[in-house]
Amino acid sequence: MENEATSSELMSLLNTAFARELQVSVQYMLQHAIGAGRVLAPFNSTPPDRRTTFIASHSLYFLPGWRLKKIAIVEMRHAEAIAERIVLLGGEPPSQPEVITIGDTAIQMLQNDRAQEQMAIDLYTHILAVAGGESDEMTVRLFRKILADERVHHRVFSNLLGEN
C-alpha cells in the first residue's frame, strides 16, 4: 500500500471515477458500433470481401463515429490508470460500470455524452481538491491529466452539437 492515509472519501471518489470511466468507454464504443451498423449496407448487398472490413477500422461511418471510438479508447486508458491507482492505495476497483445510456439518435447520444463529460469534469475537480487536501500528489497529477482530456472531450461533443 502506497499511502496509508488515504481517506475513505477519496477511495470512494476514485471508485466512482473508475466505474464512470468504464461506463463511458463502453457507452461510446457501443454508440460507435451502432452508428457504423446503421450506415452499412444490408449484408446481402455488401460484396463478400467487404462484409467484415469495418471491424476495428477507423473509417468514418457517421459523423461522430470515429471520434466516439477514439474517445472511448482514451476513456479506457483513464479507467486503467485509475484502477492501478486504487490498487496502489490499497483498495479494490469496482467490477461494474455506472449505467450505460446509448440514446436513439445521434443528437441524443451526443447530448448525453456531453453531459457525461461535464459530470466527469465536476467529479474530477472534486477529486483534485480532496487529493490535494490529503497531500496525495500522485493522484493529483493523474487527475490533472485526466481532467484535461475530459475538457477536450466535452468541447468535442459541444462542437459536434454545433455549440462552441
Please choose, from the candidates 29, 31, 54, the residue with its C-alpha nearest in 3D space to the C-alpha of residue 43: 54
What is the domain range of residue 97?
8-160
Task: Answer positive or negative: Cα dihedral of 121, 127, 132, 135.
Answer: negative
User: What's the domain count of the chain?
Assistant: 1
Contact 10, 84 (CB under 8 A): no
Residue 2 is assigned to a structural domain of this protein: no
Give the number of other CB atoms < 10 A from CB of residue 107: 12
Domain of 68, CATH number, reads 1.20.1260.10
Q: What pLDDT, on a 0 to 100 scale, did the predictor assign at position 51?
A: 42
The 8-class DSSP code of residue 98 comes to S
Q: What pLDDT, on a 0 to 100 scale, did the predictor assign at position 89?
A: 97
Residue 1 is assigned to a structural domain of this protein: no
Residue 131 is assigned to a structural domain of this protein: yes
Contact 10, 134 (CB under 8 A): yes
From CA 69, how far away is CA 31, in angstroms rounded? 8
Q: What pLDDT, on a 0 to 100 scale, did the predictor assign at position 36?
A: 60
From CA 57, how far away is CA 161, in angstroms rounded? 24
Residue 98 is assigned to a structural domain of this protein: yes
Q: What pLDDT, on a 0 to 100 scale, did the predictor assign at position 145?
A: 98
* DSSP-H helix ranges across the chain: 8-39, 65-88, 106-133, 137-160
Residue 126 is assigned to a structural domain of this protein: yes
pLDDT tens for each residue of the chain, 164 residues long? 454 579 999 999 999 999 999 999 999 999 888 876 555 444 455 455 444 444 444 443 344 667 888 999 999 999 999 999 999 999 999 999 999 999 888 888 899 999 999 999 999 999 999 999 999 999 999 999 999 999 999 999 999 889 87
Residue 63 is assigned to a structural domain of this protein: yes
Q: What pLDDT, on a 0 to 100 scale, did the predictor assign at position 3?
A: 47
